[in-house]
Amino acid sequence: MAQIITIAREMGSGGRTIGKMLSEDLGIKYYDKDLIKLASEDSGINERFFGLVDEKLKGSFLRKGGVYKGELLSPDHRDFTSDQNLFNFQAKIIKQLADKEPAVIVGRCADFILSGRRDVVKVFVYSNMETAVKNVVDMYGVSEKEAQKIIERTDKERSEYYRHYTGRDWTNAKNYNICLDTSNMDYTKCIEIIKSYLKLLEKE
C-alpha cells in the first residue's frame, strides 16, 4: 500500500477537507500549513518568511532560481532567505516526513518533490466555478463576486508557483494518479475512490 498521498487542489474544491478526512480514515498523519512551521524550525528562518511565499511567488517577474533540484544554501549565503531556498527547505521537510511514516500531504508541489517514489499516490481535486464559489462563500462569509475573485487569484498563484518550481502545468492530469471532480460528487465518495485505488496497488 502506498504510504504517502499528496493532494493538489483548486481553491474551493474541497481538497483540504478531503485530505483531512482521508488521513482520519486511514489513521495517518496530515500535513498542510504546519509544513511552514517545520521548515522554519529546521532552517532557523523566521516562519513569517515562509508564510509570505506559501504556494505563491513574490517579488519581481525576473525571479531567481527555478525548477527544484534539492540544493540548500548555508546561513552565510546572501540568498539564504530567498524564495528558492525557502522552497528547498520546505521540500526537505516533505522528503523527511515521507521517509518517516505514512501521511497525507496537501499542496506545496509535494507530488513533484516526491516524484519517482513508488510509495506515493498523487491526487488532484478540482470543481466547476459554481461549486467552488458556493464553498468559498460558506467558508469565508463573502459575497459570490468576492468569492470568485478569491478563487481566480488563488488558483493563479498556485499555478504560477507550481510551474516555477516544477516546470509543469499544475492542472495537467499526467502529473497525477487520480483526478477528482467534486462538482457532483461528495467528499465521502472521493475518499472511497482513493481507498479503492490504494487497495488495487496492494494487489500488484
pTM score > 0.85 for this model?
Answer: yes
DSSP 56-116: S--S-SS-S--S-------TTSTTTTSHHHHHHHHHHHHHHHHHHS-EEEESTTHHHHTTT
Q: What is the pLDDT of residues 40-86, one digit of tens each?
A: 999 999 999 999 899 998 764 445 668 888 889 889 998 898 889 99
Instruction: Tell me what pLDDT residue 71 has.
Output: 87
How far is the C-alpha of 13 from the C-alpha of 203, rounded, in Å?
31
Instruction: Tell me what pLDDT residue 203 has.
Output: 76
Q: How many Cβ atoms are within 10 Å of 140's Cβ, its own excluded? A: 12
Instruction: Tell me what pLDDT residue 159 has.
Output: 96
> By the 8 A CB rule, do 28 and 35 touch?
no
- Give the count of alpha carbons within 13 A of 105, CB side only: 29
Instruction: Tell me what pLDDT residue 204 has.
Output: 67
Instruction: Tell me what pLDDT residue 45 has.
Output: 94
Instruction: Tell me what pLDDT residue 65 has.
Output: 64
Instruction: Tell me what pLDDT residue 61 has.
Output: 45
Question: If the chain, 204 residues long, is cut into consecutive pieces of 10 residues, what is the mean pLDDT of each piece?
Answer: 88 98 97 95 94 82 70 89 92 96 97 95 98 97 98 96 95 98 97 96 79
Nearest alpha-carbon partner for 70 in 45, 58, 49, 87 = 87
How far is the C-alpha of 77 from the C-alpha of 100, rounded, in Å?
29
Instruction: Tell me what pLDDT residue 70 has.
Output: 84
